Structure 1
Amino acid sequence: MLDIAAALADWCAQGRAFAVATVTAVSGSAPRRQGAALAVDRDGEAVGSVSGGCVEGAVYELCRRSLADGRTVRERFGHSGEDAFAAGLTCGGEIDVLVQPVLPGDPGAAVPAGALAAAAAGETAALARVVDGPGAPPGAALLVRPGGPVTGTLGGERLDGAAAAAARALLDAGRTGTVTVGADGGRCGEPLTLLVECSVPPPRMLVFGAVDFAAAMVRAGRFLGHRVTVCDARPVFATAARFPEADEVVAQWPHRYLERTRTDSRTAVVVLTHDPKFDVPLLERALRMPLAYVGAMGSRRTHDQRLERLRAAGLTGTELARLHSPIGLDLGALTPEETALSVAAEIVARRRGGTGLPLSRTTGPLHHDPPPPAPESVLPPVPAPAPAPPSV
């Protein structure tokens, strides 16, 4: 439910009763992933989606029924080829859905409401809810914060501790998924399945080079949900007036800014300067950091010359293989907007494990699991102050 936290937090603040259906498991090809949610209030207003349209009507009715009787229910939707009028996923996959009422004044609603408020505020938190298993009712929930207290209970101190530890492990990776713990809080008890939904700050995109392509890249990054920073060593170009849609504009040497700013395994670095005095020191550091994506603009000749300089700086073949250059997928892009689209597509393909090929030329499920997360994020040590940027 945290993927529609902004809307549901408003509903909670207004005292509106609603039921929310959340995808807890996905098998085969399905349009939405774990954590996707659809909510319906007493007036019939709906927000969100669990299937992209295939089973929305049936899930909507489940939410209405849950609101009427106050019960939490589970339902599975699969391929409906045997009955053309049955609710099912025409794509051939299966989804499991947990439908839970959130009612004002109900003590059980306090934990989901708290999680929704935290997610809507951009805070780091995890909501762990019972999906299946003995000893705890479906929908029983814990709100887990990094290094903070746990709110709610699943029915016992040992079970709460085991569930909180499992939720923090997913929270550290910034992933939503299911985990299994022993119903007695140990390793050998009957299995209890939990859905852990994680709310983490948006991933960062660092765009280096306040050039004409940067404004389009900012818009593409924002569209993908990134917090976008534009950095350039030339103050006359690195201005908020030139990049009003950026979350931050920094006039600083690129490599110095990268050393000082916080990054993690979801951060994308986009280098548009194609000037060796900026590119090489920056890429020398970026390619040694656990980042999601590092790409650099330039012709193939520029790329070859850049690789020579980076090898001379001591980078290994493994480190150089992480560089996406020339940047972007081959879309035949000409304009800044088309180029930004090609770069954004490459970032998504890298994040989700896609091939970048037309789907008409691939086989297997259209929707598949992403690759495992990269290593833990790091905050590089703060170096000595940098020299002043060059004048223009």
Structure 2
Amino acid sequence: MLELATEITARLARGERFAIATVTAVEGSAPRDPGASMLVGADGRVVGSVSGGCVEAAVHELCERVLAGSRAEHGRFGIDDDSAYAVGLSCGGEIDVFVQEADPGSLDAAPFARALAGASSGLATVVGGPAALVGRVIVPGGADPLTDRELRAAGVRGIRSHRVDAVVAAALATGRSGQVEVDCGGETLVLFCETRLARPRLLVFGAVAFAEALSAAGALAGYRVTVCDPRPAFATAERFPAAAEVVVEWPSRYLARTEVDHRTVVCVLGHDAKTDIPLLAVALALPVGYVGALGSRRTHAERVRMLRAAGVPDADLARLRSPIGLDLGAVTPAETAISILAEVIAVREGRDARPLRESDGPIHARRSRGSAGADAAIVAAADLSVDRSGVRIADLPGGPRDRPRATALAP
């Protein structure tokens, strides 16, 4: 739902009712991930997409049934579902879709407002379990919290509401969207936990022509771009219109004080050792997802020598992507920006960047627990034991298509 935050917020403000269809699980290869949504208004008009076009007509029918009075609808579409084969999922996978009615009385607008502000946001929807709870939206810290009375009225007596909230919060903390099954002592609640993280950061150091191209391409790819250079004549907003901010500061000092996480990309595009060496020493010690530096192989060899002399350990040096980018034969700044972002994506997804025709298996492969780059930090954060509320979280996802399972301890 969160990807349609603009439309949902506007309709809630107008007091409209509508149906919202959300992909809650994916098996095999599919065009869109869990969380992909399609909205159908009372007038039948559609906003969004759950499959890129292959099953939209069938999902539209489910939405119309919900608007006509059905409480909620589930649909599975794919080549193994005989009843849905006619509408086909052309890419060969299966998707589970959950459809619910929405209106100002059933949706807390807070997570949608946070998503519109560019902040991280999350919510959970009960997609399986007692009928009275199916379709219930849970927002951690929201204005309409799940209550013990609701659980008891629905026949759920093996778990307290604050523990369901803890499961939701722990699942959302992974930054992944997926299903979580909560064992409630005879009853099972199936929650679809949906997250929308604030845009990842792309930190570009060196106000050069390559930085202009990379900042534009990075913004198009969904990054919040910062360009940093100590030279005020070069680091100007006019030269970098796609950047969210342009900072005039010594690069290593700026990086040491700025906020980063496992999704952050650091690209060093200058050719000045007096700024690059201290900057890279700081970058390689941080838990960021990617560190790359522009330059020739000779420049790289000299750079490594100087970093070793500065005390950077070999384990950190192994993280340095230099010469930066994939070997695409890039020459121009625009082509170089493409090669850099291609490597960033490959590192993030743990791929070897071969042509698809030379690889086997699904195009949209599941990420493994030991995959490189950002996933290592996600898995480390997800492998929780017992949180303060006494809820044990097990097998949280290493990728967006895994289906996590949560087991609650005795209340």
TM-score, with length taken from structure 2: 0.83
Report the CA distance between 1:370 and its aligned residue.
3.5
Asked whether 1:47 is paired with 2:47, we answer yes
Query: In structure 2, how many angstroms separate the alpha carbons of the residues matched to 1:116 and 1:366?
Result: 31
User: Contact 1:213–1:272 at 8 Å: present in 2 too?
Assistant: yes
Secondary structure class of the residue paired with 2:281 = helix
1:166 paired to 2:141: no
Q: Which residue identity does 2:164 align to in structure 1?
A: A
Matched, 1:265 2:262: yes
1:191, distance to aligned residue in structure 2 (A)? 2.9
* CA deviations over 1:320-368 (Å, ceiling 9, x no partner): 1211111111211111111111111111122222321111111000112
Return closer, same or farther for 1:170/1:282 CA change in 2, 3 Å cut-off. farther
The aligned counterpart of 2:319 is 322
Cα gap change, 1:370/1:69 in structure 2, threshold over 3 Å: closer, same or farther? same
Is 1:32 the counterpart of 2:25 in the alignment? no
State the Cα distance separating 1:61 from its structure 2 match. 1.8
Matched, 1:124 2:120: yes
1:168-207 maps to which residues of 2 (within 5 A)? 168-183=169-184, 188-207=185-204
- Cα RMSD of the aligned pairs, angstroms, is 2.3
In structure 2, what is the Cα distance between the partners aligned to 1:287 and 1:177? Answer: 32
Gaps of 5+ in 1: 378-392
AA partner of residue 244 (structure 1)? P
Matched, 1:375 2:372: no
AA aligned to 1:24 is: T
CA contact under 8 A between 1:207 and 1:270: conserved in structure 2? Answer: yes
* Equivalent in 251, 254, 258 of residue 251 of structure 2: 254
CA distance in 2, matches of 1:273, 1:51: 42
**Corresponding residue of 2:340:** 343
The 1:315–1:242 alpha-carbon spacing in structure 2 relative to 1, beyond 3 Å, is same
Whether the 8 Å CA contact 2:112–2:121 is kept in 1: the answer is no
User: What code does the residue aligned with 1:190 have?
Assistant: E
> Structure 2, unaligned stretches of length 5 or more?
153-158, 370-374, 381-411
**In structure 2, what residue type is equivalent to 1:172?**
A
Question: What residue number does 2:408 align with?
Answer: none
Report SS of the residue matched to 1:5: helix
1:208-287 alignment runs, 5 A limit:
208-287=205-284
> Is residue 130–residue 136 contact of structure 1 (8 Å, CA) maintained in 2?
no
Aligned to 2:90: 90
Q: 2:329 aligns to what?
A: 332
Alignment partners' CA distance in 2, 1:297 and 1:236:
22
Give identity over the alignment, percent.
Answer: 51
Post-superposition offset of 1:170: 3.1
1:92-125 CA distances to partner (integer Å, 9 max, x unpaired)? 2111111011134xx3x233x3332332233333
Distance 1:174 1:83 in 2: 34
CA–CA distance in structure 2, aligned partners of residues 329 and 44 of structure 1:
46
| CA pair 97-358 structure 1, distance change in 2 beyond 3 A | same
Q: Structure 1 CA distance, aligned partners of 2:143 and 2:376?
A: 27
Q: How many residues get paired?
A: 367
Residue aligning to 1:387: none
Displacement of 1:150 in angstroms is: 6.6
Which of the residues 299, 303, 314 maps onto 1:302? 299
Letter in 1 for 2:355: P
Q: CA deviation at 1:274?
A: 2.6
Give the letter aligned to residue 17 of structure 2: A
SS in 2 for 1:25: strand
Output the amino acid matched with 1:27. Answer: E
State the alpha-carbon separation in 2 of the partners of residues 89 and 81 from structure 1. Answer: 10
Cα distance in 2 for partners of 1:346, 1:10 equals: 38
Cα pair 1:352 1:369 within 8 Å, conserved: no
Equivalent residue, structure 2, for 1:386: none
Is residue 203–residue 225 contact of structure 1 (8 Å, CA) maintained in 2?
Answer: yes
Shift of 1:310: 1.4
- Residue 151 of structure 1 and its aligned partner are, at CA, apart by 3.4
Partner of 2:386: none
Q: What SS is found at the alignment partner of 1:53?
A: coil
How far apart are 1:91 and its partner, in Å? 1.9
Q: Does 1:359 align with 2:356?
A: yes
The answer as to whether partners of 1:295 and 1:327 remain within 8 angstroms in 2 is: yes
Aligned equivalents of 1:119, 1:292: Cα separation in 2: 23
Distance 2:107 2:345 in 1: 36
| Deviation digits for residues 153-182 of structure 1 (CA, Å, limit 9, x no counterpart) | 163394432222222223333222222222
* Aligned-pair CA distance for 1:142: 0.8
2:146 to 139, 149, 153: 153
CA contact (8 A) 1:228 1:248 kept: yes
CA distance in structure 2 between the aligned counterparts of 1:194 and 1:82, rounded to whole angstroms: 26
Separation of aligned partners in 1, 2:210 and 2:285:
26
Aligned to 1:110: 107
Of 65-74 and 30-39, deviating more is 65-74
Matched to 1:126, the amino acid is: G
Is the CA contact (8 Å cut-off) linking 2:269 and 2:294 kept in structure 1?
A: yes
Q: Is the 8 A contact 1:351 1:371 kept in 2?
A: no
